[in-house]
C-alpha cells in the first residue's frame, strides 16, 4: 500500500481556527464556571438505586442505564475469581464531528463535566451519550448535535466501530465510536470548539485533560486507509509511510493465533452470581469492598452539576484503589517503528480476549515476571527512551476519579532479545488496521495508540 503525505501536522497548525491561547482561555472559563458537588452516601440514601434481593443486583427502579452484579470466573484448572461488575447492555454514541476549515481538518470537541472526573471538566467528543441518555430516560434534554448521528449517511462516515471498554469493570460493554464528516462548519456552543488534530494531540501531554472517550474515537481513525486526504498520526512522516507500507499478514496471523488458541482451549467459564454470593467481598452500608486487596471498590454518590441535561441525581460509581500502569514498548526495526503487544484476557470481555499493550498492571497488583516487564520497569526507573508518560483519566460517568499512568518507551531492538511467549512485535499499520475491526484491540492499547506523536 502506497501512502503519499503532502502536509505534515506542524505545517497545519498555523491554519487552525483558534489559537492555543484562545482554546486555553475557553477551557479555563468552562472549568471556572463549573459548579460540581459530589458526596459519598450510603446505598440506603441512593434513591432510586437499591439492592434487589430477587436478582442479586444493585439497580434503579426503572431498570435503566446500568446495574451492578456479581460475576464468577472459573479457569480450566478450577481456579476462581469473583468480583462486582457493571452490567450495561445498551450501546451509546461516542461521536466526533469533523470538517475542513480553510483546508485543514478540524474536530468539534466538547468541554464536558462528568461526576467522577479528577479535574471536573475534560475534553470530550462532540457527543457522548448512552442510549438511555438520548432516549431521555433521565427526564433531561437531548444531547446537542445528536441529530447528526441518528441520521448518518455512509458517505459521511470516517469511523463507525463498536469498541469495547474496560473489561475488568464492565461486562461485555461496548460503545459506538463514530467520526462523522460534515460539509460545512457548524456553529460552536459555549461548550464546543473546533480544534485541529495537532491541538488535541498537544493537549494530550497534559494530565487528565483529554477524556477516555475522545482517546478511543481518535485511536480508530483509519490513517493507513486515508491516503493524502487524511491527517497524519506521526510528526515523522517517513515512519508513517513505511509503517503503512509494512502491514504484515504474518503479524496478523500471529496475533489471531494467540487469541484464537485461548478462545478454543483456555476460555474460562463465566457465571452471574448475586452480589451477596461474592465470597471475598463485603457489602457495607456505603461501599462494596474486597476483604483483602483488589484494584477497585463500589461506592454510592450524590451528584449535583450545573450545565448537564439533568442537574441532580444519585448513582453508584467504581472507585479505584490506586493507579494502574499501562505501558507500550516500541523499537525501530530496520526503519519501521514496531510496537510490542500481547493478547489479554479479562473477566468482562465480550469474546474472552483482546489485543492489549505490553504492560497492563492494575492498581495494587504485582507485575508479571518476565524479561519484557523487567526491561520496561528498568527503563522507566532510569527514565530512558520515554516518549510519553502521562496520567490519563478513565470514564468519569462510571468511575470515580480513576487515573492511570500511560507510558510509551522506545528501546533498542536488540534489548528485546527473544520475546517471551504471548508477545507480538507489530508495525503501526497493522495495529491501525486491526482497530477497524470490532472488539479486537482493547481500550488500554487504543488509549496508548491515540497518544502517538513520533
Note the pLDDT of residue 346.
Answer: 97
Note the pLDDT of residue 28.
Answer: 95
Note the pLDDT of residue 225.
Answer: 81
DSSP for 81-124, written as a single string = EEEEEEE--S-EEEEEEEEEETTEEEEEEEEEE-TT-TTSEEEE
CA gap 3, 243 in Å, rounded: 10
Rounded CA Rg of the chain: 22
Q: Tell me the β-bridge partners of 53.
A: none
Of the candidates 224, 435, 446, the residue with the CA atom closest to the CA atom of residue 356 = 446
Residue 226: what are its φ and ψ, rounded to 5°? Answer: -85, -25
Residue 28: what are its φ and ψ, rounded to 5°? Answer: -65, -40
Per DSSP, the three-state class of 287 is: strand
Name residue, grid cell 501512502. 3
Note the pLDDT of residue 226.
Answer: 78
Extract the residue ranges of the chain whose pLDDT is less than 70.
1-14, 132-133, 136-140, 227-246, 307-309, 454
Helix 212-219 vs helix 443-450: angle between axes, to the nearest 10 degrees? 80
CA gap 61, 49 in Å, rounded: 7
Which grid cell sits at 80?
A: 476462581
CA gap 170, 153 in Å, rounded: 31
In the chain, where the domains are located: 243-268+322-450
Name residue, grid cell 434534554. 141
Compute how many other C-beta atoms are within 10 angstroms of the C-beta atom of residue 67.
Answer: 21
Give the list of residues 6+ apart from residue 311 with CB closer than 8 angstroms, or none: 304, 305
CA gap 305, 37 in Å, rounded: 6
pLDDT in tens, 425-437: 999 889 999 999 9
pLDDT in tens, 224-280: 887 655 555 555 556 666 666 668 899 999 999 999 999 999 999 999 999 999 999
Report the phi/psi class of residue 309: left, alpha or beta, with left for phi > 0 and alpha for psi in -120 to 50.
Answer: alpha
CA gap 281, 194 in Å, rounded: 46
CA gap 75, 142 in Å, rounded: 44
Q: Tell me the β-bridge partners of 318.
A: 298, 399
How are beta strands 287-290 and 296-305 bridged, if at all? antiparallel
Note the pLDDT of residue 359.
Answer: 98
Note the pLDDT of residue 138.
Answer: 54
User: What CATH class does 243-268+322-450 carry?
Assistant: alpha beta
Note the pLDDT of residue 3.
Answer: 25
Residue 183: what are its φ and ψ, rounded to 5°? Answer: -95, 5
**Alpha-helix runs per DSSP H in 335-452:** 371-382, 413-416, 428-434, 443-450
CA gap 406, 354 in Å, rounded: 18
Largest CA distance in the chain: 62
Give the list of residues 6+ apart from residue 61 with CB closer than 8 angstroms, or none: 48, 50
Note the pLDDT of residue 165.
Answer: 95
Cβ contact 69:87 at 8 Å: yes
Q: Where are the beta strands (DSSP E) in 191-311?
A: 192-196, 269-273, 281-284, 287-290, 296-305
Which grid cell sits at 271?
A: 457465571
Which grid cell sits at 124?
A: 470530550
| Bond before 48 cis per omega within 30 degrees | yes
Note the pLDDT of residue 304.
Answer: 93
Which grid cell sits at 198?
A: 495537532
Note the pLDDT of residue 244.
Answer: 62
Give how far Cα 312 sits from Cα of 35, 141, 307, 333, 450, Å.
12, 13, 11, 54, 33
Amino acid at each position: 500500500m502506497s501512502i503519499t503525505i503532502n502536509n505534515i501536522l506542524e505545517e497545519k497548525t498555523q491554519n487552525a481556527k483558534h489559537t492555543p491561547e484562545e482554546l486555553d482561555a475557553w477551557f479555563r472559563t468552562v472549568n471556572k464556571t463549573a459548579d460540581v458537588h459530589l458526596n459519598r452516601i450510603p446505598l440506603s440514601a441512593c434513591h432510586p438505586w437499591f439492592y434487589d434481593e430477587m436478582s442479586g443486583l444493585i439497580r434503579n427502579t426503572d431498570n435503566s442505564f446500568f446495574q451492578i452484579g456479581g460475576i464468577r470466573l472459573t479457569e480450566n484448572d478450577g481456579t476462581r475469581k469473583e468480583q462486582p461488575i457493571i452490567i450495561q447492555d445498551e450501546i451509546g454514541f461516542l461521536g466526533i464531528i469533523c470538517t475542513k476549515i480553510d483546508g485543514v481538518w478540524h474536530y468539534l470537541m466538547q468541554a464536558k463535566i462528568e461526576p467522577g472526573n479528577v479535574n471536573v471538566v475534560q475534553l470530550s467528543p462532540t457527543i457522548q451519550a448512552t442510549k438511555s441518555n438520548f432516549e431521555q430516560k433521565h427526564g433531561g434534554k437531548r444531547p446537542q448535535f445528536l441529530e447528526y448521528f441518528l441520521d448518518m449517511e455512509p458517505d459521511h462516515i470516517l469511523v463507525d466501530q463498536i469498541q469495547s471498554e474496560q473489561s475488568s469493570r464492565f461486562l461485555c460493554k461496548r460503545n459506538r465510536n463514530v467520526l462523522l464528516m460534515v460539509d460545512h462548519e457548524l456553529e460552536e456552543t459555549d461548550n464546543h470548539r473546533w480544534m485541529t488534530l495537532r491541538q488535541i494531540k498537544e493537549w494530550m501531554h497534559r494530565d487528565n485533560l483529554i477524556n477516555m472517550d475522545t482517546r478511543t474515537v481518535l485511536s480508530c481513525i483509519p490513517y493507513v486507509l486515508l491516503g493524502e486526504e487524511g491527517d497524519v498520526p506521526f510528526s515523522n512522516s517517513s515512519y508513517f509511510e513505511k509503517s503503512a507500507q509494512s502491514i504484515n499478514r504474518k503479524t496478523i496471523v500471529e496475533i489471531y493465533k494467540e487469541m484464537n488458541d485461548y478462545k478454543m482451549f483456555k476460555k474460562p467459564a463465566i457465571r452471574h452470581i448475586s452480589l451477596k454470593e461474592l465470597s471475598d467481598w463485603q457489602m457495607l452500608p456505603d461501599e462494596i469492598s474486597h476483604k483483602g486487596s483488589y484494584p477497585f471498590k463500589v461506592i454510592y454518590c450524590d451528584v449535583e452539576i450545573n450545565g448537564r441535561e439533568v442537574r441532580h441525581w444519585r448513582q453508584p460509581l467504581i472507585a479505584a484503589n490506586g493507579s494502574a500502569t499501562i505501558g507500550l514498548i516500541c523499537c525501530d526495526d530496520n526503519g519501521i517503528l514496531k510496537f510490542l503487544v500481547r493478547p489479554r484476557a479479562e473477566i468482562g470481555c465480550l469474546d474472552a480476549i483482546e489485543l492489549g499493550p505490553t504492560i497492563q498492571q492494575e492498581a495494587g497488583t504485582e507485575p508479571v515476571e518476565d524479561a519484557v516487564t523487567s526491561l520496561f520497569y528498568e527503563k522507566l526507573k532510569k527514565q530512558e527512551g520515554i516518549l510519553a508518560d502521562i496520567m490519563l483519566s478513565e470514564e468519569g460517568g462510571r468511575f470515580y476519579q480513576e487515573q492511570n499512568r500511560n507510558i510509551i518507551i522506545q528501546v533498542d531492538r536488540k534489548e528485546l532479545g527473544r520475546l517471551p511467549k504471548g508477545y507480538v512485535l507489530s508495525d503501526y499499520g497493522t495495529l491501525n488496521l486491526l482497530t477497524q475491526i470490532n472488539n479486537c484491540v482493547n481500550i488500554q492499547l487504543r488509549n496508548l495508540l491515540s497518544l502517538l506523536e513520533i
